[in-house]
Structure 1
């Protein structure tokens, strides 16, 4: 039984040191797992509080829905948007 009392440490000292070592490594492993998960998490949006800018078609549809423009103007501008940019010759 000389082993249990080496260096002035009792059985409870060895038990406490063993539990402390297990807890230390559990803390290290948990920290590494959390860091790994945080780094590899997919980012949905860089700035979720900033809404996406509406498309020109959406703006035109909103103006038509509010009654700012009539159907003829709406259809003419919508076809112009679908035709693409005007080019100068």
Structure 2
């Protein structure tokens, strides 16, 4: 209780301010991490899985300079087109046209 009489020196003020900032920084960090960890279980997926967004590249094991090796884990382009057609994102004419282009490209490669 040496500084209780109101004569706290410069170092006392500096110590008090640093302690205050560290304390509230730790409290805010804990709250943010808690909210993030609780929120992860409730997400249906990342924002890019919404219609209109392209899927990100898979960066799992086997990723090389030329791209992922061992095939697409989400199915091929025909599967992707079939899913878009089933969701109603594309109509039948567009679906058939794109499937034909994919099959011609695969046959020529």
The answer to whether TM tops 0.5 is: no
**Class of the TM-score when normalised by the shorter of the 2 chains:** 0.3 to 0.5
Normalising by the residue count of structure 1, what TM-score does the alignment of the two structures yield?
A: 0.42
RCO comparison, higher one (Cα < 8 Å, 6+)? 1
Normalising by the residue count of structure 2, what TM-score does the alignment of the two structures yield?
A: 0.35
When Rg is computed on C-alpha atoms for both structures, the one with the higher figure is 1
The structure whose residues are more often helix, as a share, is: 1
